[in-house]
């Protein structure tokens, strides 16, 4: 579906839960796959002092529906960057999303790990879940779904997990930390 007139665009954004008034003064809008990614980034933005300095909005796009969103609605009105993960089960969707971003001049960064949850450390997982994390697990396989590795769906605890990450653990996330540095650069560009 392509939306051409301003009224339809505003209505569509409102239906998706995005307030045009809230975002008129945004320094940056970050598009993420789903609602459980937003609290992770929010905690990291707080940790790095980005929310203190900049007005950053995070817009979840509905996971496997993200390639259906008319990105021109966003691209024409906001400074935007997208973040997606590696989840190999949705490669076609991610590729279509990346193509739409490119067509609309939206920078998109794809993480190298299966999902944003794969960046949580064993220490943090044990701090939050205790003995629910099997003792034999010493590392997280970056390209395998976390739930399959530890037997727990951690998504409902994403905010707590992200908050428990230390600065050093966050910096060690390689490409996720580079994404966070890119957020700062984009905001500082004004």
What are the tens digits of pLDDT across the range 108-130? 999 999 999 999 999 999 999 99
Does 102 score more than 50 pLDDT?
yes
> Domain for residue 70, yes or no?
yes
> Domain for residue 12, yes or no?
yes
> Domain for residue 133, yes or no?
no
What are the tens digits of pLDDT across the range 2-23? 445 545 555 555 555 555 445 4
What range defines the domain where residue 74 resides?
Answer: 6-112+170-189
Tokens at 69, concatenated:
């969103």
- Mean pLDDT (whole number) for 156-177: 96
Terminal Cα distance for the chain, rounded: 32
Which pLDDT score, from 0 to 100, does residue 2 have? 47
Residue linked to tokens 């930390």:
177
Let me know: does 82 contact 101? Beta carbons within 8 Å. yes
Q: What is the pTM of this model?
A: 0.85
- Mean pLDDT (whole number) for 127-142: 95
Which pLDDT score, from 0 to 100, does residue 141 have? 95
Cα dihedral 79/84/90/92 (nearest 10):
50
> Domain for residue 154, yes or no?
no
CATH code (residue 88)? 3.40.50
What is the number of domains present in the chain? 1
> Domain for residue 65, yes or no?
yes
- Average pLDDT of the chain, as a whole number: 88
> Domain for residue 123, yes or no?
no
Which pLDDT score, from 0 to 100, does residue 15 have? 58
């Amino acid at each position: 579906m392509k939306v051409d007139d301003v009224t339809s665009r505003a209505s569509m954004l409102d239906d998706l839960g995005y307030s045009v008034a809230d975002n008129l003064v945004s320094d940056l809008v970050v598009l993420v796959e789903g609602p459980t990614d937003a609290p992770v980034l929010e905690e990291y933005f707080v940790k790095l002092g980005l929310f203190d300095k900049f007005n950053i909005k995070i817009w979840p796009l509905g996971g496997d529906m993200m390639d259906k969103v008319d990105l021109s609605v966003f691209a024409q009105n906001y400074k935007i960057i997208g973040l997606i993960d590696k989840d190999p089960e949705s490669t076609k969707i991610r590729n279509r999303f990346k193509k739409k971003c490119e067509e609309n001049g939206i920078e998109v960064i794809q993480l190298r790990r299966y999902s944003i949850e794969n960046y949580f450390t064993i220490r943090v997982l044990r701090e939050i879940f205790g003995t629910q994390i099997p003792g034999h697990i010493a590392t997280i396989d970056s390209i395998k779904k976390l739930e399959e590795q530890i037997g727990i769906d951690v998504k409902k605890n994403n905010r707590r997990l992200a908050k428990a990450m230390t600065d050093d653990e966050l910096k060690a996330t390689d490409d996720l930390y580079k994404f966070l540095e890119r957020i700062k650069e984009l905001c500082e560009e004004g």
